[in-house]
Structure 1
């Protein structure tokens, strides 16, 4: 089973991935969180060992990439780590962001939406997308540090972050409606969001 947590930067996806993993494991379920940055783990993905930078430098370099090359690199990263899901139907995979936020950002950066969604269509389909709907004013405070990619590929600042994330949220709000994502109010406290996630997931997990 594949469960994707989607939302803008700072919406709480990574934090809730950790909470979900802990809660589901406590119920005796087999759970694995998947993050695209696992490409930096040479022991897991030796074919990616040519990527020698650390995560901070990689994020900076991605923001400096141009056009389609940047979108393709991100999609390659996601497709690579998703190989872990092949032929393992008994495992629950929690996808930290999956393709949603990055492909939405790539549209804002000038790439064609139809082309990007076509790229995403070759990835494994998810059983449920849980969309973290949150105010940008809240995420800008939650974030301890911003990256250029999160700031519209502009100079890093709270103003640039808010401007880019507001546009990103507008696009993802549209997708959440057209693609039938389950909306989670992520403006609430971490424990309340965790409880809401479990409420939606328990019916799906009964047969696991």
Structure 2
């Protein structure tokens, strides 16, 4: 089973995905695997990872910054493709995707790449059984005091609250219509970690139960 948790930068995708993984393993007794783009750099699990020769932070903060146009988009989409091509979901396994190619549709559309073209590329990927959009106004992300990366700020010359807000508004404008068009649940991420996790579990419980034929044990 493929579950994608997507959304803009700073909305809590990674934190919530980790919490969901622990819950699914305990509640349903099935194996859970996390798929993050950075794992493709591991030459042990991904032989092609030898071509990178850098850390994921170097790739994300320096090398990607020098990439241009749709070639950058294709490279970022490749990171998701490599995961699914080499390690497709096994029977009875839940694979949790941290953003998947959908996240990069939002970020690349914010940088001026045609969203329709990006979505067309994404059609070649396996469709997740469930995609959830964690949504919140970028202004509400600021109190979290993130260490912004250039990509999150649209490659602006100055990386600060203003450039982060401008870029993340464009990301949100790309992701919200896509979620509505595809019928993905849009979850209010502007709440504390525990309440957000509870909302995600309420949505995912029947989906996991229906697809895996498992039932959460009584507590």
TM over 0.5: yes
In structure 1, C-alpha distance between the alignment counterparts of 2:145 and 2:25, rounded to whole Å: 28
Match of 1:193 in 2: 196
In structure 2, C-alpha distance between the alignment counterparts of 1:51 and 1:169, rounded to whole Å: 30
Match of 1:117 in 2: 119
Provide TM-score, normalisation by structure 1: 0.95
In structure 2, C-alpha distance between the alignment counterparts of 1:24 and 1:84, rounded to whole Å: 23
CA contact (8 A) 1:85 1:93 kept: no
SS state at 1:89 partner: coil
CA contact (8 A) 2:132 2:187 kept: yes
Match of 1:31 in 2: 32
State the number of aligned residues: 208
RMSD: 1.4
State the Cα deviation string for residues 158-184 of structure 1 (Å, max 9, x = none): 110011001111221111111111011
Match of 1:182 in 2: 185
In structure 2, C-alpha distance between the alignment counterparts of 1:140 and 1:132, rounded to whole Å: 16
In structure 2, C-alpha distance between the alignment counterparts of 1:137 and 1:89, rounded to whole Å: 41
| 1:9-158 map, 5 Å | 9-27=9-27, 28-59=29-60, 60-86=62-88, 88-154=90-156, 155-158=158-161
CA contact (8 A) 1:5 1:131 kept: yes
Residue 171 of structure 1 pairs with residue 174 of structure 2: yes
For structure 1, list consecutive stretches of 5 or more residues without a partner in the other structure.
none
Which has the larger displacement, 109-118 or 121-130?
Answer: 109-118
State the Cα deviation string for residues 169-208 of structure 1 (Å, max 9, x = none): 1221111111111011110110111111111111112214
In structure 1, C-alpha distance between the alignment counterparts of 2:40 and 2:188, rounded to whole Å: 31
CA contact (8 A) 2:109 2:171 kept: no
State the Cα deviation string for residues 54-107 of structure 1 (Å, max 9, x = none): 122101211221001100100111100122542613211110001112112212
Provide TM-score, normalisation by structure 2: 0.90
